[in-house]
Structure 1
Amino acid sequence: VGNERLSLVMQTICATGTRVSELRFITVEAVTTGRAEICNKGKRRTVFLPGRLRRLLRKYLQKQKKTAGAVFTTRTGRPLDRSNIWRDMKALCESADVEPGKVFPLNLRHLFARTYYSLEKDLSRIADILGHSSVNTTRIYTVESGGVHQRQLERMGLIIT
């Protein structure tokens, strides 16, 4: 069950771009309606849950016999926090022989943002989705490697001789 919970936590962050600290807003009600109302740092935003994720979470909730409250909780029923998730991810790293120093929950949020940007190329929309008040904060997710930049320049074909 621990591994299933961790898998779903990781997939939820990847599929929604939520912060680890915002997972407590992913509730049974949010799974039902397909949207979570996130209140963080004095701001509110709506996070949408993709259909495939909702189906996985509904199955998990049925197994857990959970009908209300946060989806991801400890054995005592408290919402998971950064330290619970961090510990579980580190244990997963060790079992997969991956260097724990390279794995952070925030990487999953970065993956969401970079993937979204690669499809949409809309920085202000990503800023809204991620809950950033400034697009400058969001820019870190869209910085492309020199190789990507080089290929783009070559594709432009602006040299005619």
Structure 2
Amino acid sequence: MKGYRVTEELLAGFAEHLREEERSGGTIEKYLRDVRQFSVWLGGEEATRETTSRWKEWLLELGYRPRTVNSMLIALNRFFIFAGWQECRTRYLRIQRQMFCIRERELTREEYERLVETAQDLGKKRLALLLQTICATGIRVSEVRYITVEAIQAGRADISLKGKIRTILLPGKLCRKLVKYAKKQKIVSGEIFITRSGRGISRRQIWAEMKALCWLAKVDPAKVFPHNLRHLFARIFYQVSRNIAQLADVLGHSSIETTRIYLVSSGAEHIRRLEQLRLIL
């Protein structure tokens, strides 16, 4: 089998290809990071189906979770397709559908409220509103830029991602809070969540500011990241509506199977259901 080598030129072309596919900045960054990690592991060796399989086993030996390994293989296989190295692709790990999530990773409503209250107590109004905006709408952190003065005036935001446009409705109470904030910050048009220089707040800054709240809010840092707010929104929305198809549309998922992942309950809840069966005499 012919071998191949990962080069910076190929990676640059891959990044441009992903941008043309309208992949988010975070996705592009992750894909490139995963491919570079594979390249470093190769240590100058050529890429083949065999080396790819060995890398997969190596990741498992290091203690990576199977779902994490698969996410890294997705990045690598997409790179191989782009480069025309189809023979280097490897199979994903077969994983049974998860029945419940790890409790240590599930952000509760009470913990979310403590994060918001802590941000407010610290005078971090932008962060408090940002947390509420993501959690009350279910948007991705990359979609925060679509929350604009014009959007809150209309009560809805049109989000364009991966060639698709979806409209999300903004709760009236949230709009009133955002209007008041925008007026105080003298923001008359465009993005609401901006830095002092007028640029949109970055994903990295949002992440860092959220993590800084953890100790004072008494919330495990492992639970605090933007996407977990989206998961909390999904669980609460489904509890109210019991309509998974509608939830998939709101979240912008093309597959209901993706939405199901968001609705996995905690292990503690699963135990309570088992106890309710009363099958132990």
TM-score, structure 1 as length reference = 0.88
Map 1:13-32 to 2 at 5 A.
13-32=134-153
Q: Which runs of 5+ in 2 are unaligned?
A: 1-121
Residue 94 of structure 1 corresponds to which residue in structure 2? 215
1:68 equivalent in structure 2: 189
Large movers: runs of 4+ above 6 Å: 151-154
User: What SS class does the counterpart of residue 213 from structure 2 fall into?
Assistant: helix
SS class of match (2:212):
helix
Query: If you compute each CA radius of gyration, which structure gives the higher value, 1 or 2?
Result: 2
Q: In 2 relative to 1, CA 117–68 (structure 1 residues): closer, same or farther, beyond 3 Å?
A: same
Matched, 1:146 2:270: yes
State the partner residue of 1:137: 258
Partner of 1:116: 237
What letter corresponds to residue 73 of structure 1 in structure 2? I
Identify unmatched segments of 5+ residues in structure 1: 155-161
Q: How far apart, CA to CA, are the structure 1 residues paired with 2:275 and 2:239?
A: 15
1:34 matched to 2:152? The reply is no
Matched position secondary structure for 1:47: strand
User: How far 1:103 sits from its partner (Å)?
Assistant: 1.0
Task: Give the drift of 1:32.
Answer: 0.1
Higher relative contact order, structure no. (Cα contacts within 8 Å, ≥ 6 residues apart): 1
Match of 1:157 in 2: none
Query: What displacement does 1:146 show?
Result: 1.4
Alpha-carbon separation, structure 2, partners of 1:71 and 1:130: 21
After TM superposition, give the deviation of residue 95 of structure 1 in Å: 3.4
Q: Percent of counterpart pairs with the same letter?
A: 56
Equivalent pairs, count: 154
SS at match of 1:77: coil
RMSD over aligned Cα atoms: 1.9
User: Which residue number corresponds to residue 159 of structure 1?
Assistant: none
Superposed displacement of residue 151, structure 1: 7.3
Residues 153, 22 of structure 1: alpha-carbon distance in 2 compared, 3 angstrom cutoff: farther
Q: Deviations over 1:27-66 (max 9, x none)?
A: 0000000000000122110011000000100110010011
CA distance in 1, matches of 2:170, 2:272: 30
